Amino acid sequence: MKESMKALCADIEAAGEKELARAAAMFGETNNSPHESYAVILEEFQEAQTDGRMFEHNIDFYWDAVKKNDEKNQDVWLKEMKEKALRAAIEWTQVYAMCAKALKKKENN
């Protein structure tokens, strides 16, 4: 992994740990069971997938605007894609945090 990617990875991991702390303050340090861990992880994963599918939909519209040289709509779809990418990143950060939370339960046993 390149140094620039290592730095980005560390930043994202730090965001995941921050989200873990936030979630722990709101919902407790650990889940009650592996079943609960699965359900929480699955929920966040599905939300991330939804944002990814929305991004995929938007990129198709962006490509159509590119092919038509429609700069106005290119900007519209780029803004939408940027927002969807951010939302997906947030959801994936929550997936990371919920996986870490599930591991905490196992580490405490």
Mean pLDDT of 32-52: 97
- Distance in angstroms (rounded) separating the CA atoms of residues 50 and 73: 23
The token duo for 24 is 């722990």
Indicate whether this model's pTM tops 0.85.
yes
For the chain, the domain total comes to 1
Most distant CA pair in the chain, distance: 60
- Distance in angstroms (rounded) separating the CA atoms of residues 79 and 100: 32
Residue 14, CA distances (Å) to 20, 70, 97 in order: 10, 39, 10
Helix (H) or strand (E) holding 46: helix 34-67
Q: Examine the pLDDT at 67 and tell me if it is beyond 70.
A: yes
Range of the domain at 65: 3-108
**Three-class secondary structure of residue 28 per DSSP:** coil
